[in-house]
Structure 1
Amino acid sequence: MRVVALIHFYLPAHRAGSETMLHALLRALVDAGHDAHVVVTSQPEGDDEYTVDGVRVHRAGAGERTVPRLVASLDPDVLLTHHQETPHASKLGRDLGVPVVHVVHNNMHHTTLWLHKRPDLVVFNTWWIRRYYATRHRGLRSVVVHPPVWGEQHAATPGDRVTLVNLNRDKGGLHFYELARRMPDVDFLGVVGGHGAQVIDWSVPNLEIQPQTPDMPGDVWSRTRVLLMPSIYESFGMVAVEAAHSGIPTIAHPTPGLLESLSYAGTFIDRDDTDTWVRTIRSVLESDTWGPLSAVARRRAVELDPRVELAAFVAELESLHTDHQRR
C-alpha cells in the first residue's frame, strides 16, 4: 500500500506536535512494510526531495511539481492530510478515486467545517475530541491515536529549573514571565516554540531563554525540574508526556486535552490564579513533594505507550484500502 500525505510542513524543518504525530503515523506504516510519501506545500527551505526515517518527502513547486501533478505522479492508494491542506486533499482524493484520511488535532471551527467533506477515515488525537464530534458528524469511520511519545527519545535526568515550552501567548508566555518576576529566587527556563508569535522578554534576570531545539533531552529536560503548561487550549499536550518520561511533574491549566493526557499525574490550576501558581510551584519544588509526583509522572508516561494505538491505526488503514479495492 502506498500512502501519500499532503500537508503544509514536515520534519526536520518543522517539529511542532502535529508534524511529529504525523511522522509517527507514517513511520508505523513504513515499519509495517508500506510505502509512505509526504508532499509539502508551504515549506520554503530545504531540498526538493529527501528522506526522514524511511518516509520520502517531496516539496511542491511550479511546473511538474505542482501539487496535483506531484501527488498524481506518486500514484497513491490512500491520501492522508491535516490542517489547511485538508480541503485540497479531499478534492484530490475525489479526482484520483482514492480514499482520504483526515488527521484531526483539535475541535476548532475550521476542523468542524472540513469534516463536512466526509472523509473515508478520521484519526482523532484524543477521545475527548472524538466524543465532541460524535454528535456533530454521525457515522464517521474513525480511530483514536494519541500523539505518540517514545520514552527513550525524551528521557533525561531532571535539572533544577521551572520551564515553559513555547512562549506564545496562548501557551501562557505572559503568565510565565509574571511567575518568574514573582519568584526571583527560582531559576526559570523558557523554550522558544515551533509555532505562534513568541513573547520574548530578556529583562527577567532569573529567566533564561532557550532557542528552539531538536535536542529536548539535552537542552530542556536535563535542566527542568517542573514543567508549566498554563495553556488556554491544548487538544492533548505532548510536551507534558515527554517531560513525564523523565519524571518531571507538570502544573497545568485544566484543558480537556491535558486532563486526558496527564490524568491523575497532573496538578491543575486555573491559568489566571497567579497566587496559587506561585504557592504550588514552590511546593512542588520541595523534595518531599517532588519525589512522589515524579514517580506518578513516570507511571502515567508508561501507560501512554503508543505501540498499541499505532498498530490499530495501521490495521484500520489496511482495512480501508482493502474495502476500497473491493468496490
Structure 2
Amino acid sequence: MPPQHNAGAEHMLVSMLRPLVERGHDVSVWLSRYGKARKPYAYQGIRVVPVEARLDFATAVRQADVLVSHLECVPSTSALARGYGRPVAVICHNTFRPTFRDMAAGGTALAVYNSEWMRAEADLFFSEYPKAVRPPAEIVVRPPVVAAEYATKPGSAVTLINCNEAKGGRVLEALAKRMPEQQFLAVRGAYGEQVLPDHLPNVEVVEHVDGAGMREQVYGRTRVLLMPSSYESWGRAGVEALASGIPVVAHPTPGLCESLGEAGIFVDRSDVDAYEAVLRKVLQPSEYRLASKRALARSAELDPTVELGAWCDAVEALAR
C-alpha cells in the first residue's frame, strides 16, 4: 500500500482495511513517502511500515496473497506483483486519466471505484481499448463512513475543511467579509496553498486535524459545512458531516451530487451572492431543522456495511 495522498484517501483506506482485519486477515500498509516514524507500528490493527524502516517491500510482495494499491504507487506495485504472480486490487480515487491508465496497464485483478459516476467514467475510458485491457473484476465501494464514529452535537460555526483555492478558500474569505456577525472555522488542509483569512476577527484558523480528531475538533464546532470544491470524486468530509445532521452547502460536482444526494444544498462556487443567501436562509431555525433532518436521513442511506462485506468477499476471492 502507498501512503496517505490526502485526508480523504487516507480515511478511505483505513476504513476499507479494518474490516479485513476484523475477518482475521493479516494486513500491512507500506508507506512510500518519508515521514517521522522510523519503525513499524500498529494502527487500528493494521501494521504500518514506514520508508525509514528500510525493510524489503519485494519480500513482502512475494509473501503476500493479495496486494492493494492506489494513486502514484500503482505502476511500481503492479510491476512487482506481475513478477511474483500476485493479484492486485487498485483503488481509484479520481477520474484523472493517469488513474485509469495505470490501473489498465496490466495485472490489475480488481478495480475498485469510489462512486457510480467514476465507474461510468471508466466505461468511457475502456470503450477506446480492447476488452482484454479491462480488469476482470470491478466493484464500487463508496468511501466508508461509520456514522457513530463521527456523530456529535453540531456547533455554531460555518466551516471549510482544507482552505486551498480549489476547495473554496476564496469563497470562505468572501463570505466571512460579508457576514461579520457569523463565526467561521477555517481548517488547514494537508495539501495545496492555503487561503487562511486569519486577519478577519470572525474567522478562526484550525491547524490540520487527523481523522480521529475530526468529531471533537471540527464537527462538534460546525453548524454548516461548506464544500465549494472545483473537483470532488466523492466528498468524504460532507458524508462525515451528515452523520451529525450538519447541512452541507456544496458546488455541484458529480461526486458531491452523488454522495450528498437529496441532503445536499448545491450552489455554483463562482456565485458568492448565492452562497451568502443560502447560508443566511439555512441558518434560520426552521430551515435548519429541515436541512438537518435530510442530512441524517442521507447518512443512514450511506451505511457502508453491505459494501464493505462485498469488498472483503472480493479480496478473499482474489486470494483463493
Q: TM-score, normalised by structure 2?
A: 0.93
Offset at residue 70 of structure 1 (A): 4.9
One-letter code aligned to 1:136: F
Q: Does 1:220 align with 2:211?
A: no
Supply the distance in 2 between the matched residues of 1:69 and 1:48 (Cα, whole angstroms).
17
> Number of residues paired by the alignment?
310
Aligned to 1:103: 91
Aligned to 1:325: none
SS at match of 1:225: strand
Supply the distance in 1 between the matched residues of 2:305 and 2:236 (Cα, whole angstroms).
16
SS at match of 2:94: coil
Identify the range of structure 1 (311-320 vs 252-261) with the bigger mean alpha-carbon deviation. Answer: 311-320
Aligned to 2:308: 310
SS at match of 1:117: coil
Supply the distance in 1 between the matched residues of 2:270 and 2:312 (Cα, whole angstroms).
41
Q: CA-to-partner distance for each residue in 1:253-292, whole Å, 9 max, x for gaps?
A: 0000000000110010100011111111000000010001
Supply the distance in 2 between the matched residues of 1:19 and 1:296 (Cα, whole angstroms).
27
Supply the distance in 1 between the matched residues of 2:144 and 2:190 (Cα, whole angstroms).
18
Aligned to 2:177: 181
The 5-angstrom pairing of residues 65-84 of structure 1 reads 65-72=55-62, 75-84=63-72
Offset at residue 201 of structure 1 (A): 2.7
Q: Does 1:203 align with 2:203?
A: no
Q: Does 1:152 align with 2:141?
A: no
Q: Select the residue among 131, 134, 141 that pairs with 2:120.
A: 131
Aligned to 2:3: 8
Does the CA contact (< 8 Å) of 1:16 and 1:195 recur in 2?
no
Q: CA-to-partner distance for each residue in 1:144-191, whole Å, 9 max, x for gaps?
A: 100011111111111111110111111011111111111111111111
Aligned to 2:168: 172
Aligned to 1:41: 32
One-letter code aligned to 1:32: R
Supply the distance in 2 between the matched residues of 1:44 and 1:124 (Cα, whole angstroms).
28
One-letter code aligned to 1:89: T
* Identity within the alignment, %: 40
Offset at residue 221 of structure 1 (A): 1.2
What is the Cα-based RMSD across aligned positions, in Å? 1.5
Does the CA contact (< 8 Å) of 1:221 and 1:243 recur in 2?
yes
Moved over 6 A (4+): none
Offset at residue 19 of structure 1 (A): 1.0
Aligned to 1:3: none
Q: CA-to-partner distance for each residue in 1:181-208, whole Å, 9 max, x for gaps?
A: 1111111111112232222231111111
Q: Does 1:57 align with 2:45?
A: no
Q: CA-to-partner distance for each residue in 1:209-257, whole Å, 9 max, x for gaps?
A: 1111231121111111111100000000111111111110001000000
Supply the distance in 2 between the matched residues of 1:100 and 1:112 (Cα, whole angstroms).
14
Cα distance change of structure 1 residues 187 and 61 upon mapping to structure 2, 3 Å threshold: closer
Supply the distance in 2 between the matched residues of 1:238 and 1:148 (Cα, whole angstroms).
8
Does the CA contact (< 8 Å) of 2:9 and 2:93 recur in 1?
yes
Q: TM-score, normalised by structure 1?
A: 0.91
Offset at residue 65 of structure 1 (A): 2.1
One-letter code aligned to 1:7: P
